Amino acid sequence: MSDQQARQNLIEIASSLYQRGYATGSAGNISLLLEDNTILATPTGASLGRLQPKELSKLTLSGEHISGNKPSKEVKFHLGLYHNNPSCKAVVHLHSLYLTALSCLSDLNYQNAIKPFTPYVVMRMGDVPVIPYYKPGDIQIATELSKLAANHQAFLLANHGAVTIGNSLQDATNNYEELEETAKLIFILKDQKIKYLTEDEIKELRK
Ligand SMILES: [Zn+2]
């Protein structure tokens, strides 16, 4: 994918996420890894619904700003994910409604915030660990995500939102959408008795 195609791809996906309510205001940030090992990222303060190709931030993998507008301060943790997971080609971080609501619950299991009751999160992402709360942009978010990057595809940031990665921007976006729908189901089913998947059913999905 050329630089030009990658910019178009990022803008289309960001706009689609915005139009469908996954992102509001100027919240959330998305990045992808280009073939020359540079990063294309959404700029600071920009709405995902109205991005222009030229304003996208271009960075080196070590975080030096090459061109475009200044990147979001949250790009630090994107870099940590690329550095620690060679198959990570894109990062999606949003403050979508249901995942953010889930991230604010006090009794989350920090090893896996989503106890499986449908197959898809297990098949696509496996366990979804929780990063403790730190101020947005705090380097500790990058440090904690870096430690988990090699073995996970999705993460909840406590009292903040969620992060997914993938082997393409479409893949990372599909992971995010699946995760948000699952969080929505958790709240819809809140007062119901859920039939969770059994250990054997989960094992079969992980094969
Ligand atoms: Zn954020």
Res 1: pLDDT = 81
Residue 75 alpha carbon to ligand 1 centre in Å:
10
CA of 94 to the centre of ligand 1 (A): 6
Residue 206's pLDDT band (cuts 50, 70, 90) = confident
Helix intervals (H) in 57-96 = 75-84
Residues known to be catalytic:
74, 120
pLDDT per position as a tens digit, 51-89? 999 999 999 999 999 999 999 999 999 999 999 999 999
DSSP 119-141: HHHHHHT----EEPP--TT-HHH
Centroid of ligand 1 to alpha carbon of 60 (angstroms) = 21
Mean pLDDT of the chain: 96
Looking at this protein, which amino acid is placed at residue 103?
A: S
Burial of 16 (0-12, 13-18, 19+ CB in 10 A): middle
Please compute the mean of the pLDDT values over residues 104-117 and round it to a whole number.
96
In the chain, % of residues over pLDDT 90: 96
Q: Rounded to the nearest whole angstrom, what is the distance from the C-alpha of residue 116 to the centroid of ligand 1? A: 25
HEC sequence for 169-184: HHHHHHHHHHHHHHHH
Query: Of the candidates 177, 15, 203, which has an alpha carbon nearest to the alpha carbon of residue 99?
Result: 177
**CATH number belonging to the domain at 3-206, selected among 3.40.225.10, 3.40.1440.60, 3.30.450.40, 3.20.20.120:** 3.40.225.10
Distance between Cα 159 and ligand 1 center (Å):
10
CA of 120 to the centre of ligand 1 (A): 25
For range 136-152, the mean pLDDT: 96
Domain ranges of the chain: 3-206
